[in-house]
Structure 1
Amino acid sequence: MPLNIFHDADGLPRIILSEPSGSSAEVLLYGGQVVSWKNERGEELLFMSRKAVWKPPKAIRGGIPVCFPQFGNLGLLEQHGFARNRLWSLDSDPSPLSPVNNQSSVDLILKSTEEDVKTWPRGFELRLRISLSPGKLTLIPRVRNTDNKAFSFTFALCNYLSVSDISEVRVEGLETLDYFDNLMHRERFTEQADAITFDAEIDRVYLSTPTKIAIIDHEKKRTFVLRKDGMPDAVLWNPWDKKAKALQDLGDEEYKTMICVDSAAIETPIVLKPFEEWKGHQELSNVSSSYCSGQLDPRKVLYGFQ
């Protein structure tokens, strides 16, 4: 069955995914970006800034931007690379991934252009499969080297999650891990807390993280479980009040209702020889949480939901 693609009020091609239980997702060809994920009750699970700029060449603040071929701000490339502000295409040949029902999945592709080669002279194909199932949103990114020489890149899927109050959020699964603190000139530290809570700006890259991370929203009694493979690092980001006021595409108070927890490959760049392919995998699931004295057993969150 053909995909339902329409142009929204901003003129951007948009794809709607839905599944029988009632959940839905919206994907833009611009940036290959998921900009909405709603549960079966129609509640929005992703954060989108009310001040987001929906016009090229600006990246869109919120949803799940794709950061490629770099995460950060290095060299001649724009911050977090160019994939998030390019127009992607539908991928007619997503092999070797097995076909899935078009109603709940879409395959996108971004290829190197003459414009991109000026700043990043590499030949590549970046593919992304986005699949929706009850309670789950799955993204499978793949990068193929179509050049005649090896190249390296860093990568991230930036998950802007909608939360009730950032001060009531706990992130579990990153305890005892080393991290780079971007607010401290990328100095390396070891996490000492039993769980990460938020009372100030945070911008950290956690290293060699587990395949499961839990984001617990006490007020909404909701837990996001992030499962990932091929992306060993995880980024935690919230701008807090001062940085939020400095960002033109973020409302002054919007930092209170968002948290970014990214699947990433940053510390060790991925190296591809000619015609090699890298594949990552990310699954976001949304589960309701029940509490005893306001706490959730992290072992149950991290290992109890299969």
Structure 2
Amino acid sequence: MVERANRPSALNAPAEATPGPQVDITGTGPSSKVIATLPSGESVEVLLYGATVTSWKSEGGKTENLWLSEKAALDGSKPVRGGIPVVFPVFGPPPKSGHATSSLPQHGFARNSRWEFLGKSAAEDALDASSVKLDFGLSTTELSEEARKAWPFDFGLVYSVTLAKDSLQTVLNVRNEGEESFEFQVLLHTYLKISDISKVAINGLLGVSYVDKVLNATTHQQSDASVTITGEVDRVYASIPQDTTTVLEDGKPRFDVVRDNLSDTVVWNPWIEKAKGMGDFAPDEGYKQMVCVEVGAVDGWQKLEKGEVFEGGQTMKSLL
């Protein structure tokens, strides 16, 4: 048999295309939401009303990481109780007078405005099957007339939600698109779902000063390595030196919350009486299955001049 010097190699069958993340838009009007699912089953749901993340499932879609009230309004009638509401441009009740945010409702307008879905973004990295990034936008033109009158500045917000196998990243980009400077605060009001509040400890805040809203807004210093919750808690921890706060349950790490360019964290649990007093909080004993660890810039004000941009966010890791 004669050997051929340039015998053709065997033809390689084309490799099957790797399935990518699936992104769907469901519902109409204020109830519209975007659902992204990885091929491995992890998912995130974002309501266009408030760009509120209402669900984040890890472990192949088996474990829900966010607490959502059974009575949460998902029809655009009021801000969502649970998930991750976006607080902008003021945290809590606004200053009574003398500030540009004074005419706004508590927590501002971002959480009760309808955002625009800007699409699946691959601007920073080539997205693969292990992650998907969703972008949402809100600007002056999308605001209600009432909100524009109360806060008459030209701005643009882009909120990016990136789902990976064991993490969820949420980042807010704020741009001053007008001629005047403006001041603002921002907070991501995350409701983490846990099994038993009595077994929860929050680490990473030792030595940090905080304002205790339960104790007449007095200032204290965190003297214990762990924050434990045995009653109503509403604390604003400011200028935290380390980036990571860890939520443990029954002594085992459950979540890491990693801040990016946001120096403050609010820890909140309404406990028994306050939970009963909120009409959209259900069940009444739901406080046992949630704890809010909310990253933000709320100690003082951020200021943007014409054309300037601020960006900050968080990466939450499920540690199961």
Question: Which bin holds the TM-score, normalised by the shorter protein?
Answer: 0.7 to 0.9
* Alpha-carbon distance in 1 for matches of 2:146, 2:183: 19
Residues 1:110 and 2:130 aligned together: no
Could you tell me how far 1:231 is from its partner in structure 2?
A: 0.9
Q: Is the 8 A contact 2:30 2:76 kept in 1?
A: no
Following superposition of structure 1 onto structure 2, how do residues 127-166 of structure 1 map, counting pairs within 5 Å?
A: 127-166=158-197
Following the alignment from structure 2 to structure 1, what is the Cα–Cα distance between the partners of residues 128 and 48?
19
Q: What is the CA deviation profile of residues 193-220 of structure 1, one whole-angstrom value per residue up to 9, with x for unaligned ones? A: 121111000000001112100001128x
Cα separation, partners in 2 of 1:135 and 1:284, compared to 1, 3 Å: same
Q: Write the deviation string for residues 161-205 of structure 1: whole angstroms up to 9, x where unpaired.
A: 000011110000001110011122321111111211110000000
How many residues are paired up? 286
Distance (whole Å) between structure 2 residues aligned to residue 5 and residue 79 of structure 1: 29
Cα distance in structure 1, aligned partners of 2:262 and 2:132: 24
Paired with 2:231 and 2:180, the residues of 1 have a C-alpha distance of: 44
SS at match of 2:318: strand
CA drift at 1:92:
6.0
For residue 46 of structure 1, give the secondary structure of its aligned residue in structure 2.
coil
Within a 5 Å distance, the mapping from 1:1-306 to structure 2 comes to: 3-7=23-27, 12-41=31-60, 42-74=62-94, 75-91=102-118, 97=124, 100=127, 104-112=132-140, 113=143, 114-209=145-240, 210-218=242-250, 221-251=252-282, 252-288=284-320
Give the residue type in structure 1 aligned to 2:117.
L
What is the percentage of aligned positions where both structures have the same residue? 36
Distance 2:212 2:82 in 1: 22
Q: Return the letter of the residue paired with 2:245.
A: I
Please state how far the C-alpha of 1:97 moved relative to its aligned partner. 4.9
3-state SS in 2 of match to 1:84 = helix
- What CA distance in whole angstroms lies between the structure 2 residues aligned with 1:37 and 1:190? 33
- Distance in 2 (CA, whole Å) between partners of 1:99 and 1:276 is 27
- Per the TM alignment, residue 40 of structure 1 is displaced from its structure 2 partner at its CA by 2.2
Which residue number corresponds to residue 302 of structure 1?
Answer: none
**Does structure 1 retain, via aligned residues, the 8 Å contact 2:168–2:317?**
yes
Q: Give the whole-Å Cα distance in 2 for the aligned partners of 1:63 and 1:3.
A: 19
Deviation at 1:94, TM superposition (A): 7.2
Q: Secondary structure at the match of 2:108?
A: coil
* Residues in 2 aligned to 1:86 and 1:30: alpha-carbon distance in whole angstroms: 6
**For 1:116, what is the secondary structure of its paired residue?**
helix
- What is the one-letter code of the residue matched to 2:139? K
- Partner Cα distance (1:98, 1:122) in 2: 32
Instruction: Give the corresponding residue for 1:294.
Output: none
TM-score (norm. length: structure 2): 0.84
Alignment partners' CA distance in 2, 1:270 and 1:101: 35
Going from structure 1 to structure 2, the CA distance change for 1:78 and 1:57 (only over 3 Å counts) comes to: farther
Letter in 2 for 1:140: V
Matched residue type, 1:230: N
- TM-aligned CA distance change 1:272 to 1:262, over 3 Å: same
Look up the equivalent residue of 2:315 and give its one-letter code: E
Structure of larger gyration radius: 2
Output the CA distance in 2 between the equivalents of 1:94 and 1:19.
Answer: 15
Inter-partner Cα distance in structure 2 for 1:166 and 1:53: 24
Unmatched 5+ stretches in structure 2:
1-19, 95-101
Measured at CA, do residues 134 and 94 of structure 1 come closer, stay the same or move farther in structure 2, by a change above 3 Å? closer
Structure 1 residue 245: deviation in Å?
0.6
Q: Take 1:250 and 1:125, find their aligned partners in 2: how far apart are those partners?
A: 32
